[in-house]
């Protein structure tokens, strides 16, 4: 696999809905790479949600915590989004990444661009974040 320089990779692909695949420091119980979708970004900060294939486990978590079901968005793989299996995005967690942190991650293990979510799926993900009681109101303001 050819490693694309970080600046080229992000300069050419960054956008709302872009699906990246990488290891995240935010996920403390695993060192495996996960799918992340960009929901908002500024010059140096990205806000992403993460996918899991442990669908029932996430549904149980939301049910037990009595969180809105809309905070879970199930996405079927397509050639456009680049997912490999049905995945669930838990919108109760909105992760903030900086360009510097992503550049460090890319140097350790290349970040892969897998595809782009449809506009309708991105809207479902944003709505999931907006209705989540676990996301601070200040963070939700980036979507207004």
pLDDT in tens, 57-92: 999 999 999 999 999 999 999 999 999 999 999 999
Q: Please check whether residue 51 lies inside any domain of the structure.
A: yes
**pTM passes above 0.75:** yes
Instruction: Evaluate whether residue 39 is within a structural domain.
Output: yes
Residue 67: CB partners within 8 Å, gap ≥ 6? 61, 92, 132, 133, 134
CATH number of the domain at 68, please.
2.30.30.110
How many domains does the chain contain in total? 1
**pLDDT above 90 coverage of the chain, percent:** 63
Q: Look at residue 1 and tell me if it is in a domain.
A: no
Of 111, 68, 118, 112, nearest to 90 (Cα)?
A: 68
Q: Across residues 94-123, what is the average pLDDT?
A: 90
* Structural domain containing residue 119: 6-143
């Amino acid at each position: 696999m050819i490693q694309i320089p970080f600046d080229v990779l992000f300069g050419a692909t960054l956008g709302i809905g872009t699906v990246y695949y990488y290891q995240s420091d935010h996920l403390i119980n695993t060192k495996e790479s996960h799918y992340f979708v960009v929901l908002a970004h500024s010059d140096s900060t990205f806000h992403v949600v993460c996918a899991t294939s442990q669908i029932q486990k996430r549904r149980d978590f939301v049910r037990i915590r009595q969180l809105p079901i809309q905070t879970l968005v199930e996405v079927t793989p397509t050639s456009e989004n680049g997912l490999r299996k049905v995945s669930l995005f838990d919108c109760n967690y909105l992760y903030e990444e900086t360009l510097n942190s992503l550049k460090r991650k890319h140097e350790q293990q290349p970040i892969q661009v897998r595809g782009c979510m449809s506009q309708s799926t991105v809207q479902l993900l944003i709505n999931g974040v907006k209705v989540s009681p676990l996301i601070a109101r200040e963070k939700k303001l980036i979507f207004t």
